[in-house]
Structure 1
Amino acid sequence: MAPFRSSTRAVAAALCCAAVLAGCGPADEGRPGDAAVRQLLERRADAVLDHDEKAYLADVTPARRAAERQVYRNLAALPLASWSYRLLSATGGDRVTARVQLRYRLKGYDSAPITTQEALLLRADADGRPRVAGDGDPDGQLWEQGPLHVVRGARSLVLGTGDPASLKGYATDADRAVPQVRRAWGDQGWTGRVILEVPSSLRDMEQLLDAPAGTYEGIAAVTTGEAGGHGTAPAGRIVVNPEAFAGLSPFGRQAVLTHETTHVATRAATAPGTPLWLSEGFADWVAYRDSGRSAASLAPELRRDVTVSGPPGRLPSDADFAPGAAAPAQAYEGAWLACRFIAATWGADRLIALYRSGADLRGTLGIGEDAFTARWRAYVKGELA
C-alpha cells in the first residue's frame, strides 16, 4: 500500500506568504524579525551537519533543552548528506510560529532530498534573539518520537524507536526483499536500497503519516512518496505498523516488505493516473512470484466470493483499496490475479512494459479494457472456482 505524504504537497501559497512577510516594515515590538528567524534556521542546520550539539542547543530555551537534546542526538545518528531549512511563514508576537520547509538527504539511500514541513515555536529572549521553545507538530517526524535506533543492513536502513533487537529482523527481511524486487523490476529509477521507519506503536505511525486514529489499524506497512518521480526523485520510506506486523507469519512479513519495496522501486514510473489495480497488483505479483503457492491459498477471500457468486464483474477501482473500503482483501487479490494473468499470458516483460506505460492495455497488450476484463474474469474463475 502506498499513500502519499501530505507534507510533500506544493507550498506555493505559503511561499507567497513568506515573500510578503519578507517585504514588511519593522517587526512588531518584541517579535523577532524574519531575518533573525532565518539566521536561527541556518545556525540550526549547520549545527546538525557539523555534529555540534553545543551550537544546536544555544538556540533553544532552557525549558525546551532536554527535548531538543534528544532530537539532536537522534539526528546525529543518521547518515545525513544534506540538511537545510527554508522559512515559509512566521506569525505571532513574542511567541512566533515558524512554518519551515525541511530538505534532507540520507547518504547512500536518497537520490535527491526529501522535502517535508515543520512548525517551530519560537520565543524571543531579552535582546530579541529568537530561540526554539517548542514544536508545533510534535511527533510528526520519527526522530521526535523518542530515542532513535539505527540498524544498517546490507541493502537496507532501519530507523526505529522501539526495541533495538527487533529492528535487526526488519533489516534481515528488507535485505531479502531488495534482490527479489531487482530480479523482477531491475535497477532503473531507484538506488537498490530501502529505508524502513519503525515507530513504537500504531498511534505513532499515524502521527508520522498525519492520519486520523485507526486509519491504518490492521495494515502492516505503507510506503510514502510522490507518484511520478521523473527518475530523480528520492525513494519513499516504508513505514511499519509494529502492532500489525508482529502478528504476521514469517512468510507474511517477507511478502509485506517485498510488496512495499516494490513500491519504492517503481515510484519513479508510477504516474498519477496509474490505476491501483496495476500498482498494488504488481507489488503483490513481485512478492508472490517465487513463493510456489497456489492462487487459492493466496487469494482466500476472493476465492470464497467466487465460490458463492462467481468472479467479480469489474477490475478493482481505486476506491476499493482505500482504508475503510468494504472488501479491500478481495481488491488486492483480484489485482494480483490480474497481473499474474498478464505475466502468464503475455510474459513478465510485457507486464513491466504495461506498468511503465501507465496501463495502456491496447498499446502494450493489444487488447481493450472490456476484452481484458472478460479474460481476467475467466482466469479468476479458472484459478479459484
Structure 2
Amino acid sequence: MVLSALCLVLVIAAGAGVGLVLRDRGSTAPPDPAPTGAAGKSQASSAPSGKEQDANTVVVTDEEITALLKAHGAALTSGDAKAFTSIFDQENTTLVRDQARLFANLRKMPLSQMSYETLFRNGRTEDNFGRGVTFTQDVAFVHRFTGIDLKPVSEWYRWTIEKASADAPLVVTKVGGAPPSIRGGEGSKTVYYPGPWDIWPDVAVVKAGSSIVLARPEEAALARRIAPAVAQATSTDLDFWRRHGPPDAAVPIGFVVALAKGQSQLGNLFRKEKAHEAGVSIPMPSWGAGGDIRIGGSRIVLDTASSFFADTAGIKEVSQHEIAHSLVASLDSAEFSLFGKPNWIVEGFADYVATRHQRVAQVRRYQEGRAYLAGRLGRPFDGRLPDNVFWDDKNLINAHYFMGNLAMRFIAEKYGERKVAEGVAAAYKAKGGDGEAALFEALGVRKAEFEREWAAFVRRQLA
C-alpha cells in the first residue's frame, strides 16, 4: 500500500487512502481535503437576513439554504421519501429517480447520525431585475455508522440550484460530487464521493461480526460468503490491538467494507481517481472542530477481481491488511508532513498484522525480497529502510512492502509485539509529522543502530 500525506491546512484536513499493492503501482498523489470545521464560507453574494429588497429582486439567503438542508436531512431521518425528493426538479425524471434510489439505499445503512450541512457556494444568488438565479452549493452529507465511526464524517456533494422568481422555492437541478477546496497532483477529483448508495441500484448490507460488508446486488451472494472471513479478520486484528496496543488509544471496533470488481470500480468508491491497489483503506476526517480524534472513520474497498479473492486465506489476508490500516487511522495527528508518514511503518505494520502467523518464506512477497537482496531489481539492497521518495518504484514496490514487513518482524523479535503496537501508535500520533523519529524513540534506539541490526536480520531471513 501507499500512504500520501495526511495534512492539516487551516481548518482543512486531508485524508489519504492506503491500498494493498501486489504488482505494478503508479504514483500516489496527495489526498482529498475534507473539513474539520462546520461549514465553509460562501463564495457568492448572498443578501443578509432583514435587508430591504425591491419587490422584483430575486435573492437567496443563507437562512433559505440552511432551511432547505435541514428539511432535507429531516426527511431522510424520518423516512419521508416524498419530502426528500421534493426539492429536486420534478420535470427531470432521471434526477428524481436517482435521488429516490439514494434515499432507499441510505435508509438501509446502519447510520446513527445523518444531516446535510452547507459548504461553499459559487455563482449569482441575487438579481435586482426579477430574473431567476442559478448557482452551485456544495453540501456535506454528515453521517456516522453505528458502532463503527468514532466521530461523524462527511461526503461532499455539489448541487446546482435555481430560484426562478422572488417568491419561488429553491429547486435542485443537478447533483454530483464536490471537488476538494484545495487540490494538487493526481488525487481524487471529489471528496469521499461517490458512496455505494450514490451509484449502486441497490445495496446489500451484510453483517460481518462487528463490521459490515456492502455489495452490489450481483455480488450480494459473494458478500454473504466472505462475511465470515471479514468477521474473523476484524476479530483477529482487534485481538492483536487489545493485547498489545496502548490501552488509552481510541480505535474502532468495527469497519465498513465495500466490494468493487476491478480497478475501475475500486477507484470510483469514496473517491474518483485511478486505482492500482487490490484493496484500499480511506481515512475520513472528523466533522466538527476540536477533539483529539482527527480521523473519525474510514472506508475499506476490496477488489473482488484481485488474486486475493482466489481463496478464503487470501480474502482474510487482504481484509486483515486493510483493517489494520483502518484500526490505527483514528490515532493520526493529521499534521502536515511533506512526504507523509513513512510507508515502511504504515505498510509494514498492516502487512505484519496480516501475515504474522506465517513463516517468512510463506509471505507472498518473499521471492521479491530475495531478488532485492540479490541485486536483481535494479537497485541493490543497501541495508537502509525504504524511503517514501522511491517507494513506488515499479521494480521495487513489492520488495519495499516486504522490507516493511520484515522491519516489524524484527521489532517483534527483538523488542516484543507490544513495542510494535506502541511504536506504530507513536508514529501516527507524532507531532510535526516525524513518525519515524517517534517510533525509534518508543523503541529506545537510534535509527542507525536499528538499521544495522535490521539489515543483518533481513539477510538472515532471506539467506
TM range, smaller chain: 0.7 to 0.9
Letter in 2 for 1:124: K
Cα distance, 1:258–1:321 mapped onto 2, change above 3 Å: farther
Give the aligned residue type for 1:317.
D
1:325 and 1:240, CA in 2 relative to 1: closer, same or farther beyond 3 A? same
Question: For residue 124 of structure 1, what is the aligned residue in structure 2?
Answer: 163
Corresponding residue for residue 189 of structure 1: 250
Question: Could you say which residue in structure 1 is the equivalent of 2:154?
Answer: 115
Q: Deviations over 1:39-90 (max 9, x none)?
A: 1111110011111111112212121211111111011111121111221233
227 and 328 in structure 1: CA distance in 2 versus 1, 3 angstrom threshold:
farther
> What is the TM-score when the length of structure 1 is the normalising length?
0.87
1:52 to 1:361, Cα distance in 2 relative to 1, 3 A: closer
Q: Which of residues 394, 410, 414 in structure 2 aligns to 1:345?
A: 414
Structure with bigger helix share is: 1
> Which residue in 2 is equivalent to 1:157?
212
Give me the whole-angstrom Cα distance separating, in 2, the residues matched to 1:368 and 1:227.
33
1:351 partner amino acid: V
Alignment partner of 1:374 out of 447, 452, 461: 452
| Mapping 1:1-385, distance limit 5 Å | 1=1, 4-5=15-16, 6-10=31-35, 15-17=40-42, 21=46, 23=48, 29-30=57-58, 32-62=60-90, 63=92, 64-93=95-124, 94-124=133-163, 127-137=167-177, 140-146=194-200, 147-161=202-216, 162-186=218-242, 188-212=249-273, 215-217=274-276, 219-225=277-283, 230-231=292-293, 233-244=295-306, 248-271=310-333, 272=335, 274-292=341-359, 294=361, 298-308=365-375, 311-322=381-392, 325-358=394-427, 359=436, 360-385=438-463
Give the residue type in structure 1 aligned to 2:388: D
With CA pairs under 8 Å and 6+ residues apart, which has the higher RCO, 1 or 2? 2
Change (3 A) 1:232 1:367: closer
Look up the equivalent residue of 1:346 and give its one-letter code. Answer: Y
Aligned partners of 2:138 and 2:439: how far apart in 1? 44
Whole-Å separation in 2 of the counterparts to 1:231 and 1:164: 33
Q: Label 1:169 to 1:220 Cα distance change in 2 as closer, same or farther (>3 A).
A: farther
Which secondary structure state, in structure 2, belongs to the residue aligned with residue 119 of structure 1?
strand
- On the 8 A contact 1:270/1:279 being kept in 2, the answer is no
| CA contact 2:48–2:62 (8 Å) conserved in 1 | no
Partner Cα separation in structure 2 for residue 376 and residue 307 of structure 1: 17
Gap change, CA 1:257 and 1:180, over 3 Å in 2: same
Matching residue's letter, 1:276: N
Q: Which amino acid aligns with 1:171?
A: A
TM-fit CA distance, 1:20: 6.7
Identify if the C-alpha distance between structure 1 residues 84 and 226 changes in structure 2 by more than 3 Å, giving closer, same or farther.
closer
Q: CA deviation at 1:207?
A: 2.7
- The Cα offsets for residues 227-264 of structure 1, whole Å up to 9 and x where unpaired, read as 89934742311122333366544322211110111111
SS of equivalent residue, structure 2 residue 352: helix
- CA-based RMSD of the aligned residues comes to 3.1
Q: What secondary structure sits across from 1:234 in the alignment?
A: strand
Structure 1 contact 354–361 (Cα < 8 Å) conserved = yes
Is the CA contact 1:224–1:236 (under 8 Å) kept in the aligned structure 2? Answer: yes
**Contact 1:320/1:331 (8 A) holds in 2:** no
- AA aligned opposite 1:280: E
CA contact (8 A) 2:412 2:420 kept: yes
4+ residue runs over 6 A deviation: 11-14
Residue 336 of structure 1 aligns to a residue whose secondary structure is: helix
- Which AA in structure 2 matches 1:131? V
CA distance in 2, matches of 1:350, 1:17: 48
Structure 2 CA distance for partners of 1:296 and 1:259, relative to 1, 3 Å: closer
TM-score (norm 2): 0.74
Shift of 1:23: 4.0
Corresponding residue SS for 2:283: coil
**2:186 matched to which residue of 1?**
none
User: Could you say what secondary structure the match of 2:120 adopts?
Assistant: strand
Alpha-carbon contact 1:99-1:119 (below 8 Å) kept: yes
Query: 1 CA distance for matches of 2:138 and 2:160?
Result: 9
Task: Letter of the 2:81 partner, please give it.
Answer: E
Q: Structure 2 unaligned segments of length 5 or more: list them.
A: 5-14, 17-30, 125-132, 179-192, 428-435
Cα distance, 1:37 vs structure 2: 2.2
Aligned partners of 2:355, 2:390: CA distance in 1, in Å?
21
Q: Is the 8 A contact 1:120 1:134 kept in 2?
A: yes
Does the 8 Å CA contact 2:115/2:142 hold for their aligned counterparts?
yes
Identity between Structure 1 and Structure 2 (%): 22
